Amino acid sequence: MRDWKKAVVGPTASIKDTIKSINDSVLQIALVVDEKGIFCGTVTDGDIRAGILRGVTLDAEVSTIMHQQPIVAKPQDDRDAILSSLKTNKIHHMPIVDADGRLVGLETLDDLLMPMPRSNAVVLMAGGLGTRLRPLTDDRPKPLLHIGNRPILETIIMNFIEYGFSRFYLSVNYKAEMVMDYFGDGSRLNANITYLHEKERMGTAGALSLIPDALSESFLVMNADLLTKVNFSSLLNYHVKHNAKATMCVREFDYQVPYGVVKLIDHRLVAIEEKPIQRYFVNAGIYALEPDVLPLVPKNAYFDMPQLFDQLIKNRNEVAVFPVQEYWMDIGRLDDYQRAAIDFSGEF
């Protein structure tokens, strides 16, 4: 992130000096702050040009042309909220102002659109047989099935990379050599890939016992047959904020009962609800975990992620849920695969 302090000028600075500050900072904006550090306003190239057209000279004080009520953010506002505000308001700069009115930072659209590098590991479970997708999976593993112009797993990895993740573990079993040949060490994607070889199928969590390194920070786990636009940075931040040992992504599932449902008290009928809709939260197959949950995963055994969460709950650990509102598709059946192929161009 560039040094916003180079863009600070006082309200009595000349417009000529302000132009120099804008050019020197390379931020395309000047931040006007008084001697007490109180934020007064902003000045852009457009403000300067508009002032000149009004007849304001370059020797005039910058306060005569500054924008006095720009949109600002608070220090506690999260990165995604600021980015959303920048996009909504079609602006490129967001001064960060504390409760006392003091300027404490500056966020820019360019900086926020660049992914923040993250050293957290991502484990992708790619060892399934893909039985329900036969005959498509007879000659290749499900993660290598193409949707759009690339394999499902490549889209998943690229999505994580967009959020700054670069360290991946891929669990492989069925036609493992094809996955390894395609992705190699990950350098083609500017990533680092380590393979976890399942000699037998180990469920949705068993391969975690194969991680060869001692992880020291929160990590993400995801099934490699999902296409989603989940904000993985927000998921990780949410997990850390709630001090959780494990966080499960969940999505809302609606089911309409096809009959009229009756309510009884003893022998009496007291109400009829015609074809009611039942709403549930279901497991979305994406998780954030702390390294110290790994000893709960048995070595060389079949073990599913719900079993791990059950154990954590029994141990009275903090277990959180993260609602998924974004696009999500489980490529489990042929009709799911066909629908995802239709969705791909619009979502990815």
Q: What is the CATH number of the domain that holds 244?
A: 3.90.550.10
Tokens of 173: 């079993």
- The Cβ of residue 325 has, within 10 Å, a number of other Cβ atoms equal to 10
pLDDT given for residue 252 in this prediction? 80
Same-domain status, 109 and 211: no
Q: Does one domain contain both 139 and 168?
A: yes
User: Which residue reads 């629908």 in tokens?
Assistant: 339
Tokens of 16: 């000529």
Domain boundary among 113, 145, 172: 113
**67 and 53 assigned to the same domain:** yes
105 and 132 co-located in one domain: no
Do residue 107 and residue 141 come from a single domain?
A: no
Residues 134 and 223 in one domain: yes
Given this model, what pLDDT does residue 194 score? 95
Tell me which amino acid residue 220 is. L
Which pLDDT tens digit goes with each residue over 96-120?
Answer: 999 889 998 888 887 777 777 889 9
> What's the CATH number where 94 sits?
3.10.580.10
Domain shared by 100 and 156, yes or no: no
Residues 219 and 78 both lie in one domain? no
Please report, in tens digits, the pLDDT of each residue of the chain (348 residues total). 567 888 899 999 999 898 888 877 778 888 999 988 899 999 987 788 788 878 888 899 999 999 888 889 888 887 778 888 888 888 888 889 998 899 988 888 877 777 778 899 999 998 776 677 677 667 777 888 878 788 889 999 998 998 889 999 999 988 888 888 999 999 999 899 999 998 888 888 999 999 988 899 999 999 988 888 888 888 888 899 889 999 999 888 887 888 888 888 888 888 888 888 887 788 899 999 999 999 999 988 899 999 999 999 999 999 998 888 778 887 767 766 667 667 666 666
Residue bearing tokens 């900072």: 25
Question: Do 316 and 171 fall into the same domain?
Answer: yes
Which of 81, 113, 145 is the C-terminal boundary of a domain?
113
100 shares a domain with 126: no
Q: What is the pLDDT of residue 173?
A: 86
Do 185 and 102 share a structural domain? no
Question: Measured between alpha carbons, how far is residue 90 from residues 67, 82, 93, 168, 306 in Å?
Answer: 16, 12, 10, 35, 43
d(CA 85, CA 67): 18
| 218 & 276 share domain | yes
Instruction: Please report the pLDDT score of residue 140 as a whole number.
Output: 77
State the Cα–Cα distance between residues 110 and 115, nearest whole angstrom.
10
DSSP tag of 250: E
Instruction: Give residue 325's domain range.
Output: 118-347
For the chain, how many structural domains are there in total? 2
Residue 315, C-beta contacts closer than 8 angstroms, at least 6 positions apart: none
Q: Is the pTM of this model over 0.85?
A: no
Domain termination site, one of 78, 113, 148? 113
DSSP codes of every residue in 32-44: EE-TT-BEEEEE-
